[in-house]
Amino acid sequence: MRRSASPLSLVLLGLGVFLLVLAPMLAWYVEPRAKRTPTDINMTSVFTGKGKYFDQEDLKTKDDQKLTVTRRVLGDVAASEKSGRAVWDVSQTIDNPTTRKLDDPRQAFQWTTERWVTDRETNLPVRCCKLKPANTSGEAYLKWPFDVEQRTYNWWDSNLGATVPLRYAGREKVEGYEGLRFKGTVEPSRAGTRQVPGMLVDRPESGQVQAEEWYANSGLEFVVDERTGRILDAATGPKVTLRAPGGEKDEVTLLQSDALEFDKATRREAVELAKADNDKLELVGATAPLGATVLGVLLAAAGTVLLVRGVREERGGRHKREGEV
């Protein structure tokens, strides 16, 4: 009676070959496609620091005040799925001690809303889905691209309405986790106009004037996760002033701070999210392919050994039967 190959040997060999084929697919196909900007983001970042702001009731600038910047980012999943892009709605408030207690963006010292639409792979802005502002550009803003390089990046500054070059400035640890640091500044630049009483900008003879709004930043700093592009820590030193139409000097300081920084809770959450994202990418890009390769080799080898042994036993049995005849 003729024996067939052992079912176990075929199963082991088949599994081994499958895993050996799966390993490079995970590393070369699945892992690159896992590097996509998330669409279901729901994150709040808080900056705090001391500075000055213009009190509209007292009509004067108040110094040494606690300032709080709160940025809420919520992904529009439906729009993202329809467009194939990452669509994020962004709400940002700047609060002084008085408005902070109200916990209402409509009552904040300053409230802005934006709608960011980016390519999920490159992180570049895409002109669709009611992008706001429409002239958005640059390589980085709410995050950096995946696989951050040690070079200068063009970062979008909403206050300026243009990009700012941020140069690589070495590595830095945040909550014990290492990232890449980027730095830059913004020289005083005209950023728009604002209608105000002429007396505020040394035009007492005028009623209302279109004062020039000027913006500068003494220090933009970001620490970014190298693999995912997540911002681990951030600091900014904004200065917003008013000048008379055609004027050459600042007449009113609306807002100024030498350092508004991520608070501790924001830094901790950012690091935890970066670690989780890195673990996922490490799993599909390195751990799983390596494990599949090792296990595939072992299973294929075991299946081959059992298959060869079965063939030899079959041949031996056939020769024995032929000798008896």
Do 146 and 128 touch, CB atoms closer than 8 A? Answer: no
Find the range with the poorest average confidence among 8-12, 83-87, 88-92, 128-132.
8-12
Residue 1 has pLDDT above 50, yes or no: no
Position 318 scores a pLDDT of 54
Higher pLDDT: 287 or 188? It is: 188
For the chain, the first-to-last Cα distance in angstroms comes to 14
Do 73 and 86 touch, CB atoms closer than 8 A? Answer: no
- Amino acid type, 169: A
C-alpha to C-alpha distance for 150 and 277, rounded to whole angstroms: 20
Q: What is the band of 167 on the pLDDT scale with cuts at 50, 70, 90?
A: very high
- What residues are paired with 231 via a beta bridge? 224
Domain ranges for the chain? 30-281
Q: Which residues of 4-43 are buried (b: 16+ CB within 10 A; e: fewer)?
A: eebeebeebbebbeebbebbeebbeeebeeebebbbebeb
Q: What is the band of 25 on the pLDDT scale with cuts at 50, 70, 90?
A: low
CA distances from 75 to 33, 34, 233, 318 (A): 19, 18, 21, 70
